[in-house]
Amino acid sequence: MKPDFHEPLTSSMFPKSYWVSSLNSKCRPSIGRFLFDIMMDMGFFGNTPKRVTKEEMKDIMSNLYGKLERNERVEVEKLFRADLNEAGIEYGVSRVEFDLAVTWLEENKIKHVLESSDIILIKKYFEEHLKD
């Protein structure tokens, strides 16, 4: 049976999880979510790189707690804050973003409070979460 693209959308066309409440209290399907899930199943976005999430960042910061001073930990949090607050598939700190941040730290030692030994520790704990 061929679908009629001119007929209105009905609840039987989409699973319940694709229905969202709109401002006028009518329910309508979330087409973007539906299409995104189809594309994920087809592998369009399936090869996204490993990223450090907010939860993993908490683990990293916990590991650095006894090894870095408070102002140094604040510096690390500031360095990755924008990456952790990104929305969608860009959420988190990717390998490329981490490498760029570390390169900046190593080349601009007078612009932050982290020492070379601190940067080595940061690399160590991030590597645990960025490896595939």
Indicate the average pLDDT of the chain. Answer: 77
Say whether pLDDT at 69 is over 50.
yes
**3-state DSSP percent of the chain in helix, strand and coil, to 5:** 60, 10, 35
Q: How confident is the model at residue 121 (pLDDT cuts 50, 70, 90)?
A: very high
Question: What does the pLDDT read at residue 131?
Answer: 84
Q: Taking 50 as the threshold, does the pLDDT of residue 23 lie above it?
A: no
Report whether pLDDT(22) > 50: no
67 CB-contact burial (10 Å; exposed 0-12 / middle 13-18 / buried 19+): middle
Which pTM was predicted? 0.62
Strands (E), 7-90: 19-21, 27-29, 51-52
Mean pLDDT, rounded, for 35-50: 58
Residue 72 has pLDDT above 80, yes or no: yes
Give mean pLDDT, residues 80-97: 88
